[in-house]
Structure formats: structure tokens, C-alpha cells
Structure 1
Amino acid sequence: MVKNRRFEDVEKGPGLGIRHVQILILFCGMTVTYALRVNYSVAIVAMTDEKEAREGFEKFDWNEQTKSLILSSFFWGYIFTQLPGGHLAQRLGAKMFLFFGIFICSLLTILTPWCASVGGWKLICGLRLIQGLCQGVLFPCTHALLSKWSPTEERGVLNTLCYSGCQFGTVAMLAVSGMIATSPLGWPGIFYVSGAIGILWSIVWYIFGASNPAECRLISPEERKFIEDSLGHSDDTPKHYPAPWKKILSSPPFYSLLIVHCCHIWGFWTLLTEIPSYMNKILGMNIKSNALLSALPYAVMWLLSYVFCFTADGLLRKKVLTLAVSRRIFNTIGLGLPALALIGMGYVTKETTSLAITLLVVAVGLNGAIYLGYQVNHIDLAPNHAGTLMGMTNGLANIMGLIAPLAVGFIVTEENNPDQWRIVFFISGGVYLIGNFVWCIFGSTQVQPWNAPKHIPHQKVRRESAFIEAMEAHG
């Protein structure tokens, strides 16, 4: 019986294989898409500040409210393609949805400087909205791909490796964008470089990517059999389980997951979009040091996500923690401790720059623990509907990504006023604490009864959640 299997008893499959190539390409895809998201955070400083970047490039007289509107406009489109993107990717295959999403987004990124010059902030907002529509399929499609390519025994590690590209892309873009803005390319170079890399990735994905092992011409029969056997596939296994919408929408664990996801996105995107402006206006840093230091917290988050992953795996293997306790501990590390750091940031000044940087590193870096907390809870609750659940919670949660920058623009009417920035940090810290509390109290790591229809033979759906059940049994 699967439920009695121990970690050390799980059958080992082929070593490095095509599944790892797929994960590597997806890691690069995450890197590219997050670079395409955060490039505005630094570029908008160079586009609007006469003292920054190179002379000879057009500058725009945009106030903080207008800049917040531009930064938030991405999410106007992003939230609408989450659920349909995941549902269609699950039914029709995720490869082409992901290809067109990133390709179109990259092309529009290259056109950004021209759009800014011709249409100003209004055209930029429209362009960002379309980019959001394109990127809305990213997480649901990636979840769908991982569900097909990740053997249950390797799911935790492969998921972490894939999604760590989010932080790597953030780090890379924040680190180099300041240097690009002060180079002969000027601030338009930020968009040209990131857009070109996105188009290159799209070509690579079109050639080598595949929606599942059965469609991949490069995979060996042995590796394909290992993956499909691990996931419990057979000739009569249903390709798609109908989503139990009514049961999902009446599930308390689902709502606790939705709340914590919303709270995390509020704080995360507030920091991601506003850190460059905060460092420039409050801490008095120029754009080059601003970009490099803005990247530091996300570099720490990227590295710590691996540390947390293997630490959690080791604790579970040694039966030190149950899965439920592990999820809550790491979620508290990822949200509770950063909340305290954000509250502390409300009191730093230009004279305590080192303390501000330290608190930023803590607030963002420890966020890496959420990959072992609520972020994988979609798979805990319903392995057969993980993509759908991710589309639902990520779509609704990213409304917070739209509201948060607008809230900053409403609160921060004087960019050099530290008291107004203090309110921003207090709100973000409080939201983190509320989200973590709700999920720790009302969340669940048990596979839900609505995971599969009752008429489906139990042994066929059990293996799809073997990794989760094995951890529970081992704990």
C-alpha cells in the first residue's frame, strides 16, 4: 500500500534525464518572466528622475500616483487569465499557451520605449495590461507541466528548482538594470535586453519543450515509463478529472489557502515594486547602488529557498516533524518573521541605512520558506486539481498586486516623507501576520475527499498523491 511506503523504500528512477532538461528550461522561463515583470521597478526611476541614468534620453514628469498606476496595471490583465489558462492547459496541454504568453510579452517589452514616447503613461498602462494577460497563464501552466513531468518521489525538489527561477529573475533584473540604465543604451536598454532574452527563451521552449513525456520525442522509453508509473498513469486512467467546483467553494481549507495567498502577494508585490523608489527617495541611493541593493534581498531569498527545501526534507525523513507541523513552521518563518522586520523598517532613517538593508534582506529573504508552507498546499489538498486551485488562488490573490501599489500611491503623497512610508510597512507587516495566523489555524495538509470522483478506482488516484501521503505516513 502506498500509504505505508517510506522515503528510503521509494523506487529510484533514471538519473539525470529529459525531465531535468524540462525543469531547467522552465527555471529559465521563470527567470525571464520575472525579469519582464520587475524591469519597470528600476526603469521607472531612470525614466522620471533628472539626476539619474544618462543624458539624451527622454524623461517623463510622472508623480508617485502615476507611477503606482503604471506598476499596478500589469495585474489588471494578470488576474483574468489565471483560471482559464490553468483549465485549458490541463485539458489541451500547456506548451503552446506558455510559448505564446512569454513570446508576446517579450515582444511588447521591446516596444515599451516607443510606446512611452508616443502615448505616454496611458499607452504604457495599456501595454502592461496586455503583458499581464500574457503572463497570467504562467503559474497555472507551470503547475500543469510539473504535474506531468515530476515523479512523485522528486516533486518537492523539482518544484523548488523550477520556481526558484522567480527569485533568480528578480535578482538578475534588479542587479543589471541599473547598470544598463547608466550605459550607452540608457533606460530603453532595460526593455530591449529583457525582451530579447524572452524571445530567445520562447524559441528554445518551442523546440525542446513538451506538455508531457508522451509528446516528447527526446525522452527514453525507460524514463517515460518511470515518470508515468510514478504518477499512476495507465491506458484507462482518465486524462482529466472534472473540477468539483461546488465542493471546492465550500471547503474551509481552500479559503484559508486563498486568504494566506492574498496576504502574501500584498506584501511581496508592495516590496518588489516600491523598494527602488524607497531606496532612492528615503535612503538617498543613486540608481546603480539602488538596483544592486534592491536585488540583494531576492538573492538571499533565492538561496534560502534551497536551504529551506532540503532542511524540511531532512526533518521529514528523520521523523522530527509531521508534514502538518513542518508546513506551519516554514510558513511562519516565511511570513511571521518578515512581518516583524517590516514593522522595524518603519523606524529606519537615512542615518541607519545599514539597518534598513538588513531588515529588507530579512523581510524578503525569509519569504523563501513559503515554498514549504502554503505555496505547495494546493498539491496537499488536491493533487488532481492543483493547477485549477493555483489558478483560482493566484488569480484572486494577484488582485492584491493591483491594489497594493495603488495603496502606496494613495498613502505616499510626499515621496521624501518617512512617516508615510512607515504606514506602508506597518500595513504590509500586519497583512503578513493575519494571513499566517488564518492559515496556521484553519489550513490542512490532508488530501480532500473531493480530490477525485467516487467512481474512479481509489488505487489510480492514490499514487498521484503518493509523495504527500508518504510524508504523512513517515511523520
Structure 2
Amino acid sequence: MVLGCSPCCSRTGYQQIGNTGKWPRFGVRHLQCILVFFGLAVAYSLRVNLSVAIVAMTDRNASNPDFPEFEWNESVKSYLLSSFFWGYVVTQVPGGYLSAIYGAKYMLFFGVLVCSCLALLTPFCAIAGGWKTVVVLRAIQGLCQGVIFPSTHTFLSKWAPTEERGRLVGYCYSGSQFGTVVMLSVSGYIASSSLGWPSIFYVPGCVGILWSGVWYFYCSSTPAQHPSITPAERRYIESSNQTRRPSDVGREMTPRPHTPWRRILTSGPFLVLVLAHCANNWGFWTLLTEIPTFMKSVLGMDIKNNGPLSALPYFAMILLTCVFIWLSDAMKQRGTVIPLGFSRKFFNTLGMWLPMLALIGLGYITESESNVRLAISLLTTAVATNSATYLGFHVNHIDLSPNFAGTLMGITNCAANFMSILAPLIVGLIVWDETNPAQWRIVFFFTAFVYFMGNLLFMVFGRTGVQEWNTPTTRTPTATSTEEGEAFDGDRAPLIEA
């Protein structure tokens, strides 16, 4: 494999991959990412299955009447639907930390496998133990899935070359929308079939167990551990990692340094990343949980029980993810080299300010047949364009610290999921009359303001360079200006940002 080094590479001792390198365009790294895509699809199908199954479980008219029906009131339903997140926020930080120690492969394997087995037990628990048993089971499923996103970030920090990082992260995380679309689209048909509502848990549970077996035998936590990767592809991935020195490329990873908790939690770029993640979750979950109520109460249209229509925004999100990835690649292929920081902030702006504009538009929607169609279009736009953040703040954890990317994701996702719990409560304080458009306007404008501030802070204070605390046991060289060789997210990856 032929490597090219920039002048700054030779000065700092860091190896840079060049355009003349011989590595496969489609290789083991892509197969690993395909497995991650389907793993996240399974995880999200296991997460959202209860939200559609609970309709069939409490209404014989909505499913096969040959199966038991439960008389659960709205309070019980809220406990059932929220219990998953009680456990989910607990294992975010431990998940990232443990995946870095024991390998992301095993954390993802056990997270999906145990969650899938518990899904198979859900119908039995509902019939034999009632709703309280299901609440406990869902909380345990949340504990299992809390490790998945941090472990995925740890995994991608090892497998995604810098030049392909945004693309691979975008494709992998679009699996979560794929799982949501499939589950929302087919659950109603499954519940009405001879299989009944229990199959809404059995089908994704069995698929999850099958995926776990494939993942265990065909996945490795790092390129160095994969038995069938070519030396050229392994060298390309490891050389592209900006934290490794030339003498380390091709060798096994050195022992992982101790996590610099204090320096992470006092890092300005990381704290801005936390705020951006929280703002994004506030907006996303406000849309996810409150828009169905707005559509029903203000516009007189109940879309919550319409599976295909409910899945439309997430299907559009998958398509737009591909469009944004194509746009990112097209920008890189132009004659002008695109700075990494500009790329991240540009896509983050699309992913947070376009939904902001859609929310402002929703604030002026009133009841009429044409406005219903407009509201659905704005809702789809708000959810779908949010996918641009996969190439924005969502990948910034790996930019700041490849060594601790999973830990960073665990911290930000934990904080962000508290926002997803808090947002519906705040909406409940503002909207005491669900049929009042003026109260909903306040909700939409406030959410738009949160989107605006989250992205503004990321644009002004966000950074993309590897932070010094990424390698706390060694001194990290810095590049202070473009004249000294500041690198870009084009053919070259950034080495460090001042």
C-alpha cells in the first residue's frame, strides 16, 4: 500500500493516508457497517413494538379477537410506554465505558440478544403477571438497549476511516429509522392476522436472536481482530485514524488509557456537543410524542393508529439520509477542499434549522382539509430533514476523541434522553386545552427556539479537532494554523485543531 504524507505529517510524526493508497472500495468495513445497520433496525423495532401493540392489546376491534384483551387505562399505558426509558438512561455512560474495555462487539451482542429474549417473554408476562410485570420487563429491555448507541460509536471509531466517517455513520444510524418504518407499517397487519398481537413481540424477538448469531460469528471489535480483512484495508483504516503514529499502524492496539473524566466534563467543545444533542432530542421527541395529539385535537385527524402514515416521516428520513450523504460526497469531490468543521456545521444546520422552520409553519396551521395535508407535509419535513445531523453533531463524538467516542456518546445520549422525558412534561404544562391552537403555537415556537439555540452554539463553539485529552498519557501535538498544515475533511483528515 502506498501512503502519502503531508508536510505537517512528517513534522508531527502522524501518518496520513494519500490518494495513491490501494484499498478496496467495498471491503470488510462495509460489511461490518451493514451488520450495524440491521442491528440498529432490530433494536428500534424492539423499542417501538409496544407503542403499536398496545392498541391491539386493549382493543379487540383493532386486532384478532381470539387473543386476550386488557383493560388498561391511559395512566397505565403511559407507565408502559415510558418504562423503557427508565432503564435506558441508566446504562448510557457504563455502556460506552465497558464497550471501550471489553469491545463493542460483545456489548452490542448481549444488548440485542437479551432484549430480544425478553421480547419473546412479553406476551406471557402480560397474561400471567399483568401490566406491572410488563413495566419491569420493559425497564430491563431499556437497560439492555442503553449500551447500544455508545457501543455503536465505539465500534465506528475503530472501523470508519476518517475520509468515510460521516457516510458510514449516516448509513449505520439510518437503520434505526428502517426498523421504525418496518415495525409501524406491518404491526397492524400482523395483529389482525391469525398470529395475533403476541406476534408483534415474537417476530422482532426472533429476528434479534438471529442477528445476534450472525453478529457474533462475523463481527470483530477492531480491524486488527478480524480474521478475513486484507492487510491493505486494515492498514488504510488504521492509517486514517489520526490518533495513531506511523510505528503503530498494522500493530495491535496499545492498552487503552484511563478515562480523563475531569478533562472531558470541563471541555468546551464537548459541553457544546452535549447542548446540541439535548436540543436535538428535545425537538425530535416533541415531534414524535406530541404531534399525533395536535393532529387529532386541532386538525381532527387521528394519525396515531394509521401505521403507514405514522411511518411516512421515518421513511422520508431514510431517503434524505442517502441524499445528504450524496451531497457530502459531492462537496468533497469538487475542486475546493471542504474543511471538516464547515462540513459538520453545514449539515447540522440543515438538520436543526430546517425542522425549526417547519415547526414555525406548524404553529400557524388551523383546521381545514388543505391544512391537514400541509401539516403532514411540514411534519414529514421536520422529521426527515433532521437526518442531516448524522453528518453533524452525531459524528462529532468521534471527531473529538476516537479513543473515548463511546464514552462521550454515553454521556451526551444520557443527558439528551432526560430531555426526551422532560419535553412532554413541559408540553403538558403549556397545553391544558388540547383543542387550542394558540397554546400549541407556544409549544412549536419554543421548540423552534431550542433548535435554533442548539445549532447556533454548535456553529460558534463547536470543534472538530481531536482534543488533547484523547491521549492523556502522551503529549498531543497541535497545528496552530493552515500555514502549518491544518488538514481538511476532503482527501486529508484533520490531525488536531488548535
Tell me which of 84, 88, 107 is aligned to 1:78. Answer: 88
Find out whether 1:252 has 2:271 as its counterpart: no
1:343 alignment partner AA: I
Where in structure 2 are the equivalents of 1:136-155 lying within 5 Å? Answer: 136-155=146-165
Find out whether 1:383 has 2:383 as its counterpart: no
The residue that corresponds to 2:464 in the other structure is 445
Q: 2 CA distance for matches of 1:46 and 1:178?
A: 8
Q: Comparing both structures, which one devotes a greater share of its residues to helix?
A: 1
Q: Deviations over 1:105-161 (max 9, x none)?
A: 111112222323334333222211111110111111111222222233332322222
Secondary structure in structure 1 of the residue aligned to 2:492: helix
1:216 alignment partner AA: H
Where in structure 2 are the equivalents of 1:138-217 lying within 5 Å? Answer: 138-217=148-227
After TM superposition, the structure 1 stretch with the greater mean CA deviation from structure 2, 102-111 or 443-452, is 443-452
Q: For structure 1, which runs of at least 5 residues remain unmatched after alignment?
A: 460-464
**Contact kept? 2:178, 2:315, Cα under 8 Å:** yes
**Contact kept? 2:224, 2:252, Cα under 8 Å:** no
Tell me which of 305, 330, 337 is aligned to 2:354. Answer: 337
Tell me which of 133, 140, 144 is aligned to 1:134. Answer: 144
Q: 2 CA distance for matches of 1:431 and 1:204?
A: 41
Cα 1:283–1:166 change in 2 (3 A) is farther
Where in structure 2 are the equivalents of 1:53-452 lying within 5 Å? Answer: 53-231=63-241, 232=244, 233-234=248-249, 235=251, 238-274=254-290, 283-285=300-302, 290-318=306-334, 319=336, 321-346=338-363, 347-349=365-367, 351=369, 352-407=371-426, 424-452=443-471
**Contact kept? 1:41, 1:273, Cα under 8 Å:** no
Tell me which of 20, 25, 28 is aligned to 1:18. Answer: 28
**Contact kept? 2:285, 2:420, Cα under 8 Å:** yes
TM-score by length of 2: 0.84
Cα 1:454–1:221 change in 2 (3 A) is closer
After TM superposition, the structure 1 stretch with the greater mean CA deviation from structure 2, 430-439 or 296-305, is 430-439
Q: 1 CA distance for matches of 2:331 and 2:455?
A: 21
Q: 2 CA distance for matches of 1:454 and 1:426?
A: 46
1:153 alignment partner AA: E
TM-score by length of 1: 0.87
Does 1 or 2 have the higher relative contact order (CA < 8 Å, sep 6+)?
A: 1
After TM superposition, the structure 1 stretch with the greater mean CA deviation from structure 2, 193-202 or 240-249, is 240-249
Q: Deviations over 1:31-65 (max 9, x none)?
A: 11111112223223333456533434444444444
After TM superposition, the structure 1 stretch with the greater mean CA deviation from structure 2, 363-372 or 264-273, is 264-273
Secondary structure in structure 1 of the residue aligned to 2:62: coil
Q: Deviations over 1:371-430 (max 9, x none)?
A: 121111112222232222111111221122333345556666777776666555444333
**Contact kept? 2:260, 2:469, Cα under 8 Å:** yes
Could you tell me how far 1:2 is from its partner in structure 2? 4.8
**Contact kept? 2:17, 2:239, Cα under 8 Å:** no
Cα 1:67–1:199 change in 2 (3 A) is same
**Contact kept? 1:4, 1:470, Cα under 8 Å:** no
Could you tell me how far 1:457 is from its partner in structure 2? 7.2
**Contact kept? 2:282, 2:420, Cα under 8 Å:** yes
Q: 1 CA distance for matches of 2:453 and 2:232?
A: 48
Alignment identity in percent?
52
After TM superposition, the structure 1 stretch with the greater mean CA deviation from structure 2, 339-348 or 125-134, is 339-348
Q: Deviations over 1:15-43 (max 9, x none)?
A: 43222221111111011111111222322
Could you tell me how far 1:9 is from its partner in structure 2? 2.5
Q: 1 CA distance for matches of 2:292 and 2:156?
A: 33
Q: 2 CA distance for matches of 1:408 and 1:118?
A: 35
Q: 1 CA distance for matches of 2:399 and 2:215?
A: 29
Could you tell me how far 1:79 is from its partner in structure 2? 1.3
Count of aligned residue pairs for this structure pair? 467
Q: 2 CA distance for matches of 1:415 and 1:187?
A: 30
1:203 alignment partner AA: G
Q: 2 CA distance for matches of 1:136 and 1:73?
A: 13
Could you tell me how far 1:97 is from its partner in structure 2? 1.6
RMSD of equivalent CA atoms: 3.1
**Contact kept? 1:41, 1:276, Cα under 8 Å:** no
**Which of 1 and 2 has greater Rg?**
2
Secondary structure in structure 1 of the residue aligned to 2:229: coil
Could you tell me how far 1:170 is from its partner in structure 2? 1.5
